């Protein structure tokens, strides 16, 4: 996992209870076990991006590799937003560059749910990575 050397905020707390991530408009459901979080190759440990990538769902664009240096992993958290870490100043600055912001907007590389409830996300159509590498 790469780390943005300019970020001053502390890593978010990890989830404490099992939960499910659902990607709206797909049949993707990722069951998250906080005792067995996958290694974070993309984004913060326990982040939506890290968990989705580890589950084989590669449709969330993330040009910077998940280090909060762009806004391409912009998603809408339509359920479970309140039960996620608060956005850091760095994340909010990056979100300012994303199109079509909503109150539920987050960067998937930075959003770490606590596990207090299931999470549902929507990926804006312009952020979907349609390229399937390895095919």
What is the CATH classification number for the domain harbouring 65?
3.10.20.30
Instruction: Indicate whether 59 belongs to any domain.
Output: yes
Q: Report pLDDT for 11.
A: 82
- DSSP code per residue over the chain: ----TT--SPPPPPP-S-EEEEETTS--EEEE-GGGPPP-SSSSTT-HHHHHHHTT---B--TT-SSSSSSTTEEEEEESSTTBPPPPHHHHHHHTTSSS--TTEEETTT--B-SSS-EEEE--GGGB----TT-
Q: Report pLDDT for 3.
A: 63
Mean pLDDT by runs of 10 across the 135 residues of the chain is 65 92 96 93 92 94 91 96 95 95 96 97 76 47
Q: Report pLDDT for 31.
A: 97
Q: Report pLDDT for 17.
A: 94
Q: Report pLDDT for 131.
A: 47
d(C-alpha 20, C-alpha 92), whole Å: 25
Strands 19-23, 29-32: pairing kind = antiparallel
DSSP single-letter state for residue 108: T
Instruction: Indicate whether 35 belongs to any domain.
Output: yes
Instruction: Indicate whether 65 belongs to any domain.
Output: yes
Instruction: Indicate whether 77 belongs to any domain.
Output: yes
Instruction: Indicate whether 9 belongs to any domain.
Output: no
* Domain that includes residue 84, residue range: 19-127
The answer to whether the predicted template modeling score (pTM) of the entire model surpasses 0.75 is yes
The domain tally of the chain equals 1
Which tokens is 13 given? 């707390």
Instruction: Indicate whether 87 belongs to any domain.
Output: yes
């Amino acid at each position: 996992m790469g780390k943005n050397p300019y970020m001053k905020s502390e890593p978010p707390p990890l989830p404490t209870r099992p939960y499910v991530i659902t990607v709206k408009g797909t049949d993707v459901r990722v069951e998250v076990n906080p005792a067995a979080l996958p290694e974070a190759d993309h984004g913060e440990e326990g982040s939506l991006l890290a968990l989705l990538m580890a589950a084989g769902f590669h449709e969330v664009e993330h040009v910077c590799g998940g280090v909060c240096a762009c806004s391409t992993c912009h998603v809408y958290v339509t359920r479970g937003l309140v039960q996620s870490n608060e956005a850091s100043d760095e994340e909010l600055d990056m979100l300012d560059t994303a199109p079509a912001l909503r109150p539920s907007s987050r960067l998937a590389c930075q959003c770490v749910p606590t596990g207090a409830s299931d999470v549902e996300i929507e990926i804006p159509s312009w952020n979907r990575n349609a390229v399937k590498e390895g095919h």
